[in-house]
Amino acid sequence: MTFIEFKNSLANSQPPAGISIYLQSLWYDGKEDWHQAHSLVDSLSGTEAAHVHAYLHRKEGDLSNADYWYRRADQQRPTIGLEKEWEQLVKKFL
């Protein structure tokens, strides 16, 4: 699946079959369903989950919580816009 195909899938009512939990979370975020996106990664461990979790809290505006999750992901909070970070994360997990 390409990034364009993933982005186009946002017009559908369900995420594409067979994608990772991280991409599912980003898909729901792309559909403006932050709560569903967060619920998918909230209890997961690992740096990948922490990275998506950090992005979601950054988008939420809770920067101290986001910074905690960026540290758990071995990342620093990016200075790019949220849309660009979302795109980079999607491409990372594709």
Taking the C-alpha atoms of residue 66 and residue 51, their distance in angstroms, rounded to an integer, is 9
* Angle, CA of 66, 70 and 75, to the nearest 5°: 150
Question: 67-86 pLDDT, tens per residue?
Answer: 999 999 999 999 999 999 99
pLDDT single digits (tens) 31-48: 999 999 999 999 999 999
> 18 is written with which tokens?
């067979």
- Please state the length of the chain: 94
Q: Which three-class secondary structure string do you get for 23-78?
A: HHHHHHHHCCCHHHHHHHHCCCCCHHHHHHHHHHHHHHCCHHHHHHHHHHCCCCCC
DSSP 11: G
Angle ∠(78,92,32) on CA atoms, nearest 5:
70
pTM of the predicted model over 0.75 = yes
